[in-house]
């Protein structure tokens, strides 16, 4: 085993969906830095192109709306030779259950869960036919720990965890690995509402062991790991990248402890 090659992609093609900003952009940049040929996909063509330009070299961009099943199937046909698929697209409506409209519920479920199902359904068989690959989705700490106002979002993220585990079981014999990353609080556009409230922002920062929020680039290493040869025996797993949020019980330090 040449361990110096564990994180090298040697030109393998990888598709990053949601590459136009935030965690998706940083994941694309990191994969490109390790030698992958990155296809930057996003619903926004301009931001996808910007990410591809930042990577340079053989990186390309494409427009993809994960809510369009025909477009997803077409992308799976076009990129049937990819070694890894990463998808980060998600949305949230922060309201208590009693205040939710069904339109809001459908919006969250359709993007977060239905879109994820559509991607796995389209790409996993292609990877299986091609000898294997790695599929990486993004769940959340909300798949495991919740608070008021997170009902629909938390349900979709818990659903994604079980979807990934099932896909790992179904496609594992064909050497297709399926895993999810569960971030804690990350400074992205999705969390702008919280960031704009100092009290809320600081309360979240103190929930984790590290006492701070994460930056999108701090999720990139987990993506590279799960896409690489270094994780060849990892599937059906949830990789927590939450700064210790789910490991500790708040930030109170008992006296004399």
* Three-state secondary structure call for residue 22: helix
Q: How many CB atoms lie within 10 A of CB 154?
A: 20
For residues 95 and 92, give the distance between their C-alpha atoms in angstroms, rounded to a whole number.
9
List C-alpha distances in Å: 180 to 6, 94, 135, 239: 20, 23, 8, 6
- By the 10 Å C-beta count (0-12 exposed, 13-18 middle, 19+ buried), 218 is classed as middle
List C-alpha distances in Å: 145 to 142, 183, 219: 5, 12, 19
Distance separating the N- and C-terminal Cα atoms of the chain? 45
Taking alpha carbons only, the member of 6, 63, 60 closest to residue 38 is: 60
Active site residues: 153
Taking alpha carbons only, the member of 145, 123, 143, 171 closest to residue 238 is: 143
For residues 152 and 147, give the distance between their C-alpha atoms in angstroms, rounded to a whole number.
11
R_g of the chain computed on alpha carbons: 18
Contacts of 209 by beta carbon, 8 Å cutoff, 6+ apart = 243, 244, 245, 247, 248
């Amino acid at each position: 085993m040449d361990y110096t090659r564990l994180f090298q992609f040697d030109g393998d093609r990888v598709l990053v969906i949601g590459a136009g900003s935030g965690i998706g952009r940083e994941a694309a940049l990191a994969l490109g830095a390790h030698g992958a040929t990155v296809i930057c996909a996003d619903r926004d063509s301009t931001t996808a192109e910007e990410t591809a330009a930042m990577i340079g070299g053989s990186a390309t961009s494409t427009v993809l709306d994960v809510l369009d099943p025909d477009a997803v199937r077409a992308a799976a046909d076009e990129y049937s030779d990819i070694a890894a698929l990463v998808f980060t697209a998600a949305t949230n409506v922060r309201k208590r259950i009693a205040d939710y409209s069904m339109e809001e519920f459908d919006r969250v479920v359709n993007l977060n869960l239905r879109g994820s199902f559509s991607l796995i359904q389209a790409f996993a068989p292609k990877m299986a036919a091609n000898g294997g690959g790695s599929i990486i989705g993004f769940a959340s700490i909300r798949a495991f720990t919740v608070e008021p106002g997170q009902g629909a979002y938390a349900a979709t993220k818990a659903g994604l965890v079980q979807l990934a585990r099932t896909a790992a079981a179904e496609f594992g014999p064909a050497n297709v690995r399926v895993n999810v990353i569960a971030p804690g609080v990350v400074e992205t556009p999705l969390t702008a509402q919280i960031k704009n409230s100092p009290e809320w922002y600081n309360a979240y920062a103190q929930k984790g062991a590290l006492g701070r929020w994460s930056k999108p680039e701090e999720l990139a290493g987990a993506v590279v790991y799960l896409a690489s040869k270094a994780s060849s025996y990892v599937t059906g797993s949830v990789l927590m990248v939450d700064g210790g949020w789910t490991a500790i019980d708040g930030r109170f330090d008992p006296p004399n402890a």
